Amino acid sequence: MTTTPTTTGPLTTAEYHALAPANRAYHDAYHAFAGILKSGDTVYTQTIHRSASGLKRVLRVIVLTQRDADGNVMPCHPNWATHVLTGARLQTVDGYDGCVVNGCGFNAGAHLVDILSRELGLKLRHEAL
């Protein structure tokens, strides 16, 4: 589902508009994460829904790297960008967006962060909330 960007640097306006819409979304998502994450950062996941059978989970992705004007850490919820980069479906549960992970018998949050790490070329840590 995902496609590796042809360049990780900024594109000119003409180059950006020449991209197919799916590649534009990937480019935007890639650069959204590139601006807030670096190797070694922790990406948190929170399960906001689990199906009765346990075969589907909806996870929110939370990154604590942005700071407000007073220097306090503010949470960033890059669920759309995670959805684009990992290929996970996006679902809204009780007003919160999350990425759908199917399957059981494994750590779904670590799985999502592992895919994200590979797509971004960064070594990210995972912690469940």
In a domain, 39, yes or no: yes
4 within a domain of the structure (yes/no): no
pLDDT value, residue 16: 65
Is 1 within the bounds of a domain? no
Q: Are the beta carbons of 43 and 63 closer than 8 angstroms?
A: yes
pLDDT of residue 20: 73
Does residue 6 sit within a domain?
A: no
Helix (H) or strand (E) holding 21: helix 21-34
- What's the pLDDT at 1? 46
Enclosing domain of residue 38 = 13-128
Q: Give the bridge partners for 91, in sequence order.
A: 98
Q: What is the pLDDT of residue 10?
A: 67
What is the SS3 assignment for 68-128? CCCCCEEEECCHHHHHHHHCCCEEEECCEEEEEEECCCCCHHHHHHHHHHHHHCCCCEEEE
Q: Is residue 29 part of a domain?
A: yes
User: Consecutive sets of 10 residues in the chain, 129 residues long: mean pLDDT of each?
Assistant: 53 70 79 84 94 94 80 83 91 92 92 93 94
Task: Confirm whether 21 is domain-assigned.
Answer: yes
* CB hemisphere CA count around 83 (13 angstroms): 17
Does 20 map to a domain?
Answer: yes
Q: How many domains does one find in the chain?
A: 1
* Domain-embedded: residue 80: yes
